[in-house]
DNA sequence: CGAATCGTTGATTCAACTCAACGCGAGTGG
DNA sequence: CCACTCGCGTTGAGTTGAATCAACGATTCG
């Protein structure tokens, strides 16, 4: 209800936000200067969200595509049995709903995890830019393809790994994506999720997440302080989580 | 090894195969006649596979994008613990690896389920067509976006539904996709998968799949004869599987 | 200082797994 | 044509990883 209407800041506020996006789009293929200009000319809105606000609800019409300029965001489904499954966790630098460039109805919910700042583009106009500039279309399509690769890995993670490996794998993925996004070293980062949310991402209960985190801690693989999870032994955590970053399709990502 | 080298039939054999593909690509947006011509002029190979052959292995370079002209194909990951997770099941009319239009290394395995006929296009050339013809690019991107939506639903299915609902949901999805592809009524179809394969798709053991199928049968939701699964009570199965087709983003798909 | 949220812990239950055996039909080769 | 094997489905018995239920502690915040 009320929390869904959030202050909308008009543009001009921060060109730097778009610069960060440009860097992301160029992570694989370069963008022509004309394409960069076109993206800069694109109209957009900046929206700020407090933690745990709904950004989009399943079933709603979606005419915007959003980019995370700051904060964490997650996407989830609520099933008929009342359970919730988080299907994606996004951090600064991620697009969170590029599918709306083609699909006009949301098939899941999007919520802020922390306070978050989104840059929102009209889907129609973004699509038009994809037609006009090959390199923009390629960069955005690539984003959605890599996201799909992550979904596949999540299917495998939730389907076939036990709680310990599953948890370790998630921590490794987020650490690796964080590093790849230039947000800091993967060895040390704060995971801004409650244990219940971690459970909803992993298909576990919060009680079992608690026990599993304590197990990983007792093994010396992670260290914890309140909400923060710190990778204490990357190689050990990687092995525990059966983590291999190749599915993230990052360039220049050794070990 | 030897089974990986399969006879490659050169084109001209069957223009009708491409016609089926055109229909698929037009399911959402029409294609211009120039785009249709360009697709018809595109070089391709037709490859036939016996059941259970590898089509592509994780880690290999992939330069082709394949379309299923006949048969069933599945994609899976093998995890460090030796377990296997099927991440997608494809039937006639599906593209199975459009991600290779951008990503050149396979992040999972692709195998034939039944005897299958694939139409394979050079990824580079297909991508070029996407640049040249907006409508082709749009149609292919849409395919990958809907596939991603299916992956999300699978995460939720495997993560948060019990064996009965999970199994029912898979049966509903395949039945619905089959009908949407024009392959026959959703109420009656043969599922060409062993119980072990069904288990690998659902994150269950084959033993438990067996018990679950028998449960669904005893409830009168499905009927079985050998390998064939027949939907005996669509509405009941839909309810059991908590199935709502909206995530498939089909047009004109009531109830 | 409450109230609320989240993390922690123990006791118990249960859904799904494991292990093991057996049946059955399809192929195959003597 | 039959004996054999092999893959797959079926079934039972026992085990276990994770869920459930329930309580309590810590932190934050108005």
User: In this predicted model, what pLDDT tens digit does every residue of A2-14 receive, in sequence order?
Assistant: 333 444 444 455 5
Q: What is the pLDDT of residue B253?
A: 58
Distance CA B234, CA B188 (A): 10
- Looking at residue B252, what is its pLDDT? 65
Residue to test with chain A: of B86, B89, B133, B148, most A Cβ within 10 A: B148
Test B81 with A242 for CB contact under 8 angstroms: yes
Please name which of A111, A113, A108, A112 lies closest in space to residue A78, comparing C-alpha atoms. Answer: A108
Query: A164 to chain B, minimum CA–CA distance in Å?
Result: 12
- pLDDT band at residue B7, thresholds of 50, 70 and 90? very low
Residue B61 has pLDDT above 50, yes or no: yes
Q: Are A130 and A95 in contact (CB under 8 A)?
A: no
Distance CA B110, CA B17 (A): 21
What is the model's pLDDT at position B14?
A: 54
| Per-residue buried b or exposed e for B2-23, using 16+ beta carbons within 10 Å of the residue's own CB | eeeebeeeeeeeeeebbebbee
Which chain A residue shows the shortest CA-CA distance from B128? A134
In whole angstroms, give the CA distance from residue A41 to residue A136.
14
Report whether pLDDT(B119) > 50: yes
pLDDT at B15 (0 to 100): 61
Largest CA distance in chain A: 55
- What letter does residue B28 receive in the DSSP assignment? T
- pLDDT score of B127: 97
Residue B2 predicted with pLDDT over 50: no
The CA distances from residue A243 to A97, A169, A184, A252, B30, in Å, are: 26, 6, 19, 17, 42
The residues, ordered by sequence, that sit 6+ positions from B162 with a Cβ below 8 Å of its Cβ are: none
Residue B172 CA to residue B162 CA, distance in Å, equals 15
- B21 to B17, B56, B90, B153: CA distances (angstroms): 7, 21, 14, 25
Question: Do the Cβ atoms of A211 and A232 come closer than 8 Å?
Answer: no
pLDDT < 70 regions, chain A: 1-15, 252-255
Helix, strand or coil, per DSSP, at residue A67: strand
pLDDT of residue B100 exceeding 50, the answer is yes
Q: How far apart are CA B151 and CA B164, in angstroms?
A: 19
CA atoms of A105 and A100, how far apart (whole Å): 7
| Smallest CA–C1' separation from B83, nucleotide | C17
**The predicted structure's pLDDT at residue B255:** 54
Q: Return the SS3 of B228.
A: strand
What pTM does this model have? Answer: 0.94
Q: Which of A199-213, B21-35, B53-67 has the lowest mean pLDDT?
A: B21-35
Helix axes A134-160, A15-25, angle to 10 degrees: 70
**Beta strands B222-225; B228-231: pairing state:** antiparallel
Cβ-defined contact of B103 to A145 (cutoff 8 Å): yes
**Bases in strand D with any atom closer than 7 Å to a protein CB:** 7-13, 17-22, 27-28
Query: Which one is predicted more confidently, B90 or B190?
Result: B90
d(CA B155, CA A202): 9
Contact A145 B144 (CB under 8 A): yes
* C-alpha–C-alpha distance, residues A103 and B147, integer Å: 12
- For the segment B34-38, the average pLDDT, to the nearest whole number, is 95
Helix (H) or strand (E) segment spanning residue A229? strand A228-231
**Amino acid A7: pLDDT:** 47
């Amino acid at each position: 209800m009320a929390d869904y209407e959030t202050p909308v800041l008009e543009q001009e506020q921060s060109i730097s936000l778009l610069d960060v996006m440009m860097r992301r789009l160029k992570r694989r293929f370069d963008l022509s200067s004309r394409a960069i200009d076109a993206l800069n000319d694109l109209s957009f809105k900046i929206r700020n969200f407090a933690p745990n606000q709904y950004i989009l609800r399943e079933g709603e019409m979606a005419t915007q595509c959003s980019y995370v300029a700051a904060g964490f965001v997650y996407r989830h489904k609520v099933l008929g049995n009342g359970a919730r499954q988080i299907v994606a966790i996004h951090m600064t630098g991620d697009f969170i709903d590029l599918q709306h460039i083609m699909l006009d109805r949301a098939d899941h919910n999007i919520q802020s995890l922390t306070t978050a700042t989104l840059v929102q583009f009209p889907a129609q106009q973004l699509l038009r830019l994809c037609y006009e500039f090959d390199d923009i279309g390629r960069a955005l399509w690539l984003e959605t393809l890599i996201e799909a690769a992550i979904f596949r890995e999540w299917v495998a993670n939730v389907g076939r790994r036990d709680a310990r490996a599953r948890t370790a794998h998630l921590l490794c993925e987020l650490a690796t994506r964080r590093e790849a996004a230039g947000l800091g070293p993967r060895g040390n980062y704060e995971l801004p999720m409650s244990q219940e949310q971690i459970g909803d991402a992993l298909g576990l209960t919060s009680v079992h997440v608690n026990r599993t985190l304590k197990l990983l801690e007792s093994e010396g693989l992670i260290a914890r302080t309140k909400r923060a999870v710190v990778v204490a032994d990357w190689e050990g955590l990687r092995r525990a989580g059966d983590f291999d970053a190749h599915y993230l399709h990052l360039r220049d990502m050794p070990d």
